[in-house]
Structure formats: structure tokens, C-alpha cells
Homo-oligomer: A and B are copies of this chain.
Amino acid sequence: MTATAPAAARATHPSAELAAFAAGLRFEQIPPAVLRRTEDLLLDCLASILAGARTRPVQAIERYAVAMGPQSGPSEMLTARRGTSPVFAAMVNAAAAHVVEQDDVHNGSVFHPAAVVFPPVLALAQALGRSGKDLLTAAVAGYEVGIRIGEFLGRSHYKVFHTTGTAGTVAAAAAAGRLLGLDANVMLHAFGSAGTQAAGLWEFLRDAADSKQLHTAKAASSGLAAAWLAREGFTGAQRILEGPQGMAAGMSSDADPARLTDRLGERWALVETSFKYHASCRHTHPAADALQEAMRANGLRADDIERVVAHVHQGAIDVLGPVTDPRTVHQSKFSMGTVLALIARGGRAGLAEFDAALQDPAVAEFRDRVEMRLDADVDAAYPTRWIGKVTVHTRDGRELHARVDEPKGDPGNTLSRPEIEDKALSLGTYAGAATADEVRGLIQTVWGLERAERVSALLPSA
């Protein structure tokens, strides 16, 4: 034991290391591929916000923000197209980002980073006139911190707590704190104030209540508040994550502190994040991708197909099996037949396609020619890999096979920029929250973000 050991120990506990990483992250340090992916994720998030803007829970939160916040301000509520203070813009945009369930997900941490990271960063960048590079750097800090905290809190946490709400609060603080330029010590105080506000319980699922939107709204706004307060000299716990009365002590039984600092600056967890490509239950995605591949490889049209067998894992049968005659749009997203019918007939299964599908007799007719069958190989690989496998029987008597080893949107099979633009156009115009021209403008803004000296309003005001 040397005389310097205690000081070294203080400087290197996991909360402090993670805070120091977030505070110290520099734009130049982030590989270009990570920056490009950050732009992809940002566009995906903005489009998700627009798609959710006019839903009932988001409108309720927006009315709350209008009642409690200032009547104008530098930060943009993308829903109402009006300015407000950073905290309310972050709150409303975060609520909207998660509602149509098309926003990104990090599989290993079961955490939706975009919804809680981009809204506070955008709101502060607009309020403080920061650059596009600042925005991107802060967002990367938020992803790297949030994903590692989600992994740290583990499966026991996720059983009762909505990780996007809990880890998301600290992720939002890290992102906001980086944008505010907090140093490592002040960032650690921000972590403390964020972690002690971290909340979000799954109990609402039982009643299909609106809490999921409240969780992202609160994570984004409470994280922003924690960073702002830290800048004002407000102090927080030094070991809020792993301390004996910290987040893991209270809300996890299998927390692994080593995950908090896993290869900081070397492993870029952000690029492990998946995009959601189809607007349906994730269990339908592998087969949808395999059918698309079978049709592409063999030059098939929908009318060429007699029937489809989707070879699936047991979980898909458990969740999707009961849905044989979907009666609502939401239910149809859990119907393998409907999803494959949309893919076969139009090549896409987005929000608008599902809205139209319910009344379309051609979709119903195709749906009834789709069958799910348990596949031992697919089942054995799950959940590490989500393999898609279909057999297509054509009207001219052929039996064709296709297999996709990673569903579209996962890191190994990520979306191309044209596909991301396409999804953004679809989401952005879905509920009339923006016109196609406005979304095209948004796309150009995001692709040019690195060169923007100041982040200003993304959309024309209302």
C-alpha cells in the first residue's frame, strides 16, 4: 500500500470514471463512423418525435408544458412548433420520441437511448447557440453513459424498473452536462443529482397506461435539470451508481460495476444500437426480412406467391400465435400474416401501411396463406441472434428458401442512409406533424450538422 493509494482509489471509482469520461469527451476523439451513426440516430429520433406529436399522451404533456413553462423561448417543442425553455422542450420532445415505438434500442442494455439523450441536447444547444459538433459530442457522451448504466443495472433491475426512465435520467444528465461544458467534478455532481431522481416502474403495463411517455419525458427533463443545477453549484452524491445507498443498492440485485467503465473511449456502444425498421412487433422482423430477401433473390411479386411458411423461435409463436384475425391496428402489428402481406405487396410495413391494412381485403387474403412453424435452429440461436427463415411456395410450384441472420436495423445489418431517410419521411409525415418538404429539409440539416456553427430551429414555427 503506497501513500497515494487512497487518492487514486477516490479518483477511479466507477461513477467518477464514467463522469470523467463524459466530461472529457472531445469531438476529435470520436471516430467518423460513430459520428455518422449519431447523425442517423438523431434523424431517426426527430422523425419519431414527429410521428408521436399528435398522440393523446403527448398532447397532455404538451398542455402541461404550456401551462407551466414560459410562453416563448429558444428551445423548440417539435410537437407544437413553438419555443419554450430547455427543460420543457426536452420534456415534450422526449415524451413524443417513444410513443409510436419506432425509436432505437440497445439490445444488451434493453435501453432506448435516443428518446432521452437527443431531446435535452437539442434543447440546450438551441438555447445556448452551440455548434453541431457540440451537439454530436454531447449525444455520444449520453449514449456511452446510458448504455453502460443499463448494462450495469442488469436484468433484475429491468424486471420492475423501466431502464429507459432510470438509466435514462443519468444518460440525459451526461449529455446535457457535456453540452454545458461541465468539468469532471461538476459532472459527477450532475450524475448524483440525476441518479437520485431516477425512476420508472413497469406497473403501468398491466393497465396499458401512459407512463412510458412520462418516463422518457422525466428522464430527459430531470437529467437536464441535474446538469443545470450542478453548473449552479448544487452538489450530488459521489457514488450514486454503485454506492451502498445508490441506484444499484436500491434497485438491482445483479449489478456489475465493471460494466460501467467497460472500454471507455475504445468500445463505442452507440454503434451497437439498433434501428427499428418495420412498425411491427420485433418478433415479426426476422421473417419479414427473409421474405423480402426471397422475393428479391427470385424476382417474385406478391401474386407469384401461393403460401409462406415462417420458421420461427418459440417466443414468436407465444406472442404472435394468438393473433389470427387482428381487429385493431395495434393488434395487426402482432400478426405475422399481416406483416408478411404488407412486405409482399408493397415492400414495407410502416405506420401508414398498418393504418391502411386493416380494411384491405387483399392483405387479409394473403395473411391467411401465412403459417408459422417452430424451427429448432432458429429457436436455439435466440435471443443472442434473431434469425429469419422462410419457405416460399410459388403458384408455379417452386419451393424457395431464404434466411437472414440479423434482422434489419441491428448493428450487423444496419440501415443505409437512403433507408433511414425513407423511414424518416414515412414517420415525419405520418400524422401530419410535418410535410414531406419539411422532413427533407430536416434530413439535410442533420446530414450537415457537423458543419453548423450554431444549432437553430429545425422546423418553421407554427
A139 interface residue per 8 A CB criterion: no
Given contacts A193-B211, A196-B214, contact A201 B247 (CB under 8 A): yes
Asked whether, in the complex, the Cβ of A234 is within 8 Å of the Cβ of B61, the reply is yes
Whether, in the assembled complex, A150 has its beta carbon less than 8 Å from a beta carbon of chain B, the answer is: no
In the complex, chain B residues whose CB is within 8 Å of the CB of A71 = 70
B201 contacts A245, C-beta separation under 8 Å = yes
Answer yes or no: A197 CB below 8 A from chain B CBs: yes
- How far apart are the CA atoms of A159 and B85 in the complex, in Å? 37
Chain B nearest CB from A206 CB (Å) reads: 7
Taking the complex as formed, is A229 at the interface, i.e. its CB lies under 8 A from any CB of chain B? yes
> In the docked arrangement, what's the CA distance between A214 and B189, Å?
12
Which listed segment binds B: A27-35, A235-243, A258-266, A390-398? Answer: A235-243
Given A195-B201, A203-B243, is A87 in contact with B60 using a C-beta cutoff of 8 Å?
no
So how many copies of this chain end up in the complex? 2
Residue A460 interfacial (CB < 8 Å) = no
Inter-chain contact B69/A238, CB cutoff 8 Å:
no
Given A60-B233, A206-B243, A244-B203, A196:B225 Cβ within 8 A: no
Nearest opposing residue in chain B for A71, CB measure = B70
Verify if A292 is at the interface (C-beta below 8 Å from B): no
Known A63-B232, A233-B60: A192·B206 in contact at CB below 8 Å:
no
Pair A215/B196 contact, Cβ less than 8 Å: yes
- Nearest residue (CB) in B for A240 is B203
A199 and B199 form a contact (CB under 8 A): yes
**Interface class of chain A by DSSP:** helix
Q: What's the Cα separation between A214 and B194 when bound, in Å?
A: 10
* A189-B209 contact in complex given A60-B232, A228-B67, C-beta closer than 8 Å: yes
CA distance A207 to B247 in the complex (A): 15
A245 with B70: CB separation less than 8 A: no
Residue A411 at the chain B interface, CB threshold 8 Å: no
Q: Does A382 contact B (CB under 8 A)?
A: no
Residue of B nearest to A224 (CB): B68
CB of A399 closer than 8 Å to a CB of B: no
The answer to whether A88 and B68 touch (CB under 8 A), given A211-B193, A237-B211, is yes
Bound: A57/B207 CA distance, A: 39
- Smallest distance from the beta carbon of A60 to chain B beta carbons, Å? 4
Taken together as a complex, chains A and B put the C-alpha atoms of A240 and B245 apart, in Å, by: 23
B residues in contact with A206, CB < 8 Å: 237-239, 243-245
Q: List 8 A-B contacts (CB under 8 A).
A: A64-B225, A67-B228, A160-B245, A192-B207, A196-B211, A204-B240, A206-B245, A214-B236
- Chain A residues at the B interface, C-beta cutoff of 8 Å: 56-57, 60-61, 63-64, 67-71, 85-88, 159-161, 165, 189, 192-193, 195-207, 209-211, 214-215, 218, 222, 225, 228-229, 232-240, 243-247, 249-251
10 more contacts with CB within 8 A, not counting A196-B201, A197-B214, are A57-B235, A61-B234, A68-B87, A68-B228, A160-B245, A197-B200, A203-B239, A207-B235, A207-B237, A210-B236
